[in-house]
Every structure is written in C-alpha cells, then in structure tokens.
Structure 1
Amino acid sequence: MPELPEMETYKSALQQMLVGHPITNVTINRAKSINEQADDFINHVKSQTIKAIDRRAKYLIFHLQNGSCLLLHLMLGGWMFYGAAADKPNRTVQVQLTFGKHHLYFIGLRLGYLHLLSPDKLHKEFQDIGPEPLAENFTIDAFFETMKHKRGGIKTTLINQSVLAGIGNRYSDEILWQAQLLPLRKMSDLNEAEHVRLYESIRFILQRGIEKGGYMDEPLFKDDHHTGKYDMYVHDREGKACKRCGHPIIKIDIATRKTYYCQACQH
C-alpha cells in the first residue's frame, strides 16, 4: 500500500504536470471507484482546471476550479500513470482523467477510490487523522505530547492513523530498524532517549523515502527515473542479512501485519 513517501512523490510530480491544466474528459470504467453517479461525477469534474494538489496522510487532494475536490486513496494495489494513450500500461484502468493528449490513469482501484467532495466534507474526512510527522510544527515536544498516554505496541501505534498520519506497515518496520527498537515493545516502556531516537528515525526514514521516490516500482510517467528507488533496510527481507549487523532478518505477525526486524540489533 502506498504510504506517505509514495503519495508525496506523486504529489510533487503531478503538481508540475497538472496544476493549471483543465480536465478535458473523464472516463469511469468502475462505478464503485467513485462516490457519485457516473454522469454527475463527470459533469462536475469535466472542464475543471486543477488549481492545486495537496497530500494529507496517505491521501492526495486535487483542488478544482469550482471549489470542490477529488480525494484519492489508492489503498492496497492502487497506482497511477500519466501519459499519452500509446504509453498506457497494459493494466485495467478504473478511472481516467484526460488533459488534452495526455491522461492520468488510476489503476488498481478495486479497494481504493476517487471521491468528489465539497470542502466541508473533505474537512470531515480528515478530522480524526493525527499530525503530519514531517510538518515543521511537529517538534520533539509535540511528539512527546502525542505519545505520552500511549500504552500499545510501538508498531501498532506508528501505523495508527489517528496517532500519526501516513505511516504504514512498510515504513514502520524501517523506522523501528533505524531506531534499533523491537516492534513488540510497548510505547509506555520507552525511556526518554528511546523516544527521541524513535522521533528522529521517523523523520529520517520518511524523508529518505521521499528523496528516493518511495518503494513502488511502477513509474508514474514514461522515462520516470525517480519513482521507486527506495531500497528497504528490513521490510520484506526475511532471512537476508541485516544491513547493520549481518544477522538474518526475522518475520513475525503483529496484529495480522507482516513485520520484519533484526533480533540482534533491535532491542
């Protein structure tokens, strides 16, 4: 599932390609991927100019000229491709936004969605989501305040979107590896130094993920040489040597989530 670094990568690239351009056509191939009747959705979106693109947690928000928004959540298996029809991947497209001779293809939206919302409804969608971990005002003091009453496991706390926005299964493993903390530990067991290390690891891993274009292999556009260059330290590396100490990586399940860690150097 795309997490904060992947969605931030999408946002940055799409801002350059789409902002200021009108949507000349809309194609709906799967009605369940949208929240309105197809004709109504098309009528409200077609001919609208993209005014801005923002990210919140694992969502992208396309702000339209008429004041409404398109809210995208890719969920498990969703991705996007932007380009001419001749460059379209050989995959099923659920929704397509056309910008003249180029198209933004939404692929794999069997669980994900593209919803048309008013600003008020958009606000309600985000009211229970926690702070952005890379925001300037998310200081170490803000982190301590966020975590001071948390008693659950570290991993389950990190991926709880009401606690922190945008961290999922993959990057939580990467963060805990960087912080040298076992994912089975409880937040209430961490001392002050470990809290600081966890905070610094969250920011380091997420920033590195953005710099490397996230982990997803699928390019966003033809000749895209940036997307998908993040190389996992620990996640999905069961049995391989830890990149820090050389011991084999272990896989366990925590709350039905596949979790990877090094038993030798995470404590």
Structure 2
Amino acid sequence: MPELPEMERYRNILGKNLTGKIITGVEVNREKSINIPVQEFIDQVANRTVVAVKRRAKHLIFELDSGNSLLLHLMLGGWMFLGNEEESPDRTKQVILSFGEVNLYFIGLRLGYLHLLEPGQLQEKLAGYGPEPLAIGLDEFKARIRMKKGTLKSLFVDQSFIAGIGNCYSDEICFKARLNTAKKSASLTETQVTSLFSAMKPVLLNALEIGGYMDDPLFPGDTKTGQYNDHTLVYDRENQPCKRCGTAITKIKVSSKKSFVCPNCQED
C-alpha cells in the first residue's frame, strides 16, 4: 500500500501536470470505486478544472473549481498512470479522467476509491487523522507518544497517532532509531523518543527523494518510481545482512502485522 513518500511523489508530479487543466472526459467502469451514481459523478466532474492537487495522510485530494474535491485512496493494489491511450498499461481501469489527449488512469481500485466530496464531507472524512510526520514538532510528538501504550509498530501504523506511515516506513524508522518494532511505547526513555522523532523525517524524505517503494510507473519512461526497493534498510529484507552490523534481518509478527528487524542492533 502506498505510504507518505509514494503519495507525496504522486502529488508533486500530478500537481505539476494537472493543475489548471480541464477534465474533458470521465469514464467509470466500476461503480463501487466511486461514492455516487455514475452519471451524477460524470456530470459533476466533467468540464471541471483541477485547481490543486494536495495530499493528506495516504490520500490525494484533487480540488476542483466547483469547490468540491476528488478524494483518492489507493489502498492495497491500487495505482495510477498518466499517459495517452497507446501508452496505458494493459490492465482494467476502474476510473479514467481525460485531460485532452492525456488520461489519468485509476487501476486496481478494488479496495481503494475515488470519491467526490463537498467541502464539509471532505473535512469530516479526514477529521480523525493525526498530524503529518513532516510537519509535527518534537514537543507535540513527545506528548502524543506518551498517550499511547502499544508497540511501536502499532503506534506508527495508527493513522490517528500520526498520518501517512504504514508497514514499510514504520520498520524503516524504528531501524534507524535502533529500536525494535515490538518495543512498547510506554517503556521508551526521553532519549529513545527523541531518536524516533529524529529518524522519522529523514527516512520519509530520503524515500521520497529516491522514488518510494511502489513498483508501478506513474508515466511513460518513469524509471524513478519504486527505486527505494533497492535502498530499504530492513523492510522486506528477511535473511539479508543488516546494513549496520551484518546480522541477518528477521521477519517477526508484531500487533498482527509482519515486521522486519535486525535482532542485534534494534533494542527490544
């Protein structure tokens, strides 16, 4: 599932390419991927201008000149492709937005969605999310973490605690902070809390710069998307040597989720 670095990369690219562009056509091939009847969705989205592309947590928000927004969550298996019909992947597209000869294809939206929301609906939908990890300060981070008692893994994937981090980057952040993902947040010292905070932003920004870990290209000739797969610290590196100490990375189960850790240099 795409996390903050992936969605922020998508936001950057789509914002540059689509802001100010008119949606000249709308095609819906799966009604369950949207939230209102198909014809109503088409009528309200077609011929609208994209005035901004924003991100909140793992969502993208396409703001329209009508005042409404398209809220996208790719969930597991969802992805996008920006290109013309000849360049598009040979995959079923649940929704297609056309911008003249260029189309934005929404693919794999079996669990994900593209919902058209009024401002109040959008605010309500996003109300339960915690602060953005790239914007939160140390004092607020400390205050929020002291309110939690679960494992670090469960803490970082909890979108009400902090928004945009999931399975991959929770492992990466904990590794950089030298803390096991199974460690209880209530047991952390002040120094360890600071270490977690200090690890969080560099890990996310580095992944964003490298291209994120999702494999599917966003546009024709896109060779950068997914390059973080070759740079992960521990995630999905079971039995490979730790990049700090050489010990084999192990896969464990934490809070019912898989997690990758170095058993030697991440403190329990």
Shift of residue 226 of structure 1? 2.5
Gaps of 5+ in 2: none
Task: Say which is worse superposed, 213-222 or 41-50, in terms of deviation.
Answer: 213-222
Q: Counterpart of 2:60 in structure 1: which amino acid?
A: L
Residue of structure 2 in register with 1:183 after alignment: 181
Out of 218, 221, 235, the position equivalent to 1:220 is 218
Q: How many angstroms apart in 2 are the aligned matches of 1:204 and 1:44?
A: 40
Q: Which residue identity lines up with residue 39 of structure 2 in the other structure?
A: D
Residue identity in the other structure for 1:159? V
Is the CA contact 2:129–2:162 (under 8 Å) kept in the aligned structure 1? yes
Output the TM-score relative to the length of structure 1.
0.98
Match of 1:240, SS state, is: coil
Residue of structure 2 in register with 1:170 after alignment: 168
Distance 2:147 2:220 in 1: 47
The equivalent residue for 2:143 is 145
Which residue does the alignment assign to 2:35?
Answer: 35
Structure 1 stretches lacking a partner, 5+ long: none
- 1:113 Cα deviation from its structure 2 partner: 0.1
Report whether the alignment pairs 1:124 with 2:111: no
CA deviations on 1:50-90 (whole Å, 9 max, x unpaired) are: 00010000000000010000000000011100001110011
Residue type matched to 1:217 in 2? Answer: D
Tell me how far 1:225 sits from its aligned partner. 2.9
1:145 is paired with a residue whose SS is: helix
Give how far 1:26 is off: 0.4
C-alpha contact 2:153 2:255 (8 A) present in aligned 1: no
Q: Give distance in 1, aligned partners of 2:19 and 2:240.
A: 43
The count of corresponding residues between Structure 1 and Structure 2 is 265
Shift of 1:196: 0.5
**Which structure 2 residues correspond to residues 55-204 of structure 1 after superposition, within 5 A?**
55-135=55-135, 138-204=136-202
Which residue identity does 2:226 align to in structure 1? G
- The TM-score, its normalising length taken from structure 2, stands at 0.97
- In structure 1, how many angstroms separate the alpha carbons of the residues matched to 2:110 and 2:36? 16
Amino acid in structure 1 at the alignment position of 2:152: I
Cα deviations by residue, 1:3-54 (Å, 9 ceiling, x for unpaired): 0000000000001110000000000011100001000000000000000010
The one-character-per-residue Cα deviations of 1:223-265 (angstroms, maximum 9, x if unpaired) are: 1132222121111111111111110011011222111000011
AA at the equivalent of 1:203: K
Identity %: 49
Q: Secondary structure at the match of 1:85?
A: coil
Q: In the TM superposition, what whole-angstrom CA distance separates every residue of 1:189-218 from its partner, at most 9, and x where no partner exists?
A: 110110000001111111111111211111
AA matched with 2:181: P
Counterpart amino acid of 2:223? H
1:128-186 deviations in Å (ceiling 9; x for gaps): 10000101xx1111111111221111110011000000000111011111111011111
Name the SS of the counterpart of 2:227 in structure 1: coil
Letter in 2 for 1:183: T
Instruction: Give the equivalent residue in structure 2 for 1:13.
Output: 13
Partner-residue secondary structure (3-state), 2:147? coil
Describe the SS at the equivalent of 1:171: helix
Amino acid at match of 2:239: G
The separation in 2 between residues aligned to 1:5 and 1:11, in whole angstroms, is 10
Amino acid across the alignment from 1:150: K
